[in-house]
Amino acid sequence: MKTKNYVLACDLKDEIELIKKYEEYHREVWPEIIKSILEVGVLNMEIYRTGNRLIMLMETQHDFSFEMKTKADRQNLKVQEWESLMQKYQQAVPSAKKGEKWTLMNKIFDLKNL
């Protein structure tokens, strides 16, 4: 099966207690959130942190689209509850477009394709 990969960035509010709480939530992500991620074609998702910067790696099915995911998320009350809760901790990176929380990153180097 052919897959697609995405890398996104988001910042946390730069307060140590908020960062600790955010990481606690991500050690026990609600099962409904995991289910919603898998249902839209995300095969794997990882989030890394340095300081207050987050990087998310997503491996998806080939037919995955962010538009489809956004539509599904808007219709899922538990996802809306989770996103509302996460808003307390997250903020957009400085280069984000208005209204954008997670910003899609552009690949600028790939050792396999030299």
Q: Helix 16-27 crosses helix 77-86 at what angle (to 10 degrees)?
A: 150
Q: What is the pLDDT of residue 41?
A: 97
pTM: 0.92
State the Cα–Cα distance between residues 110 and 76, nearest whole angstrom.
Answer: 36
Q: What is the pLDDT of residue 1?
A: 76
Q: What range defines the domain where residue 88 resides?
A: 3-113
Does 98 score more than 80 pLDDT? Answer: yes
Q: What is the pLDDT of residue 114?
A: 84
**Arithmetic mean of pLDDT, 66-95:** 96
- What is the domain-level CATH number for residue 94? 3.30.70.1090
How many domains are there within the chain? 1
Does 50 score more than 80 pLDDT? Answer: yes
**Arithmetic mean of pLDDT, 82-104:** 95
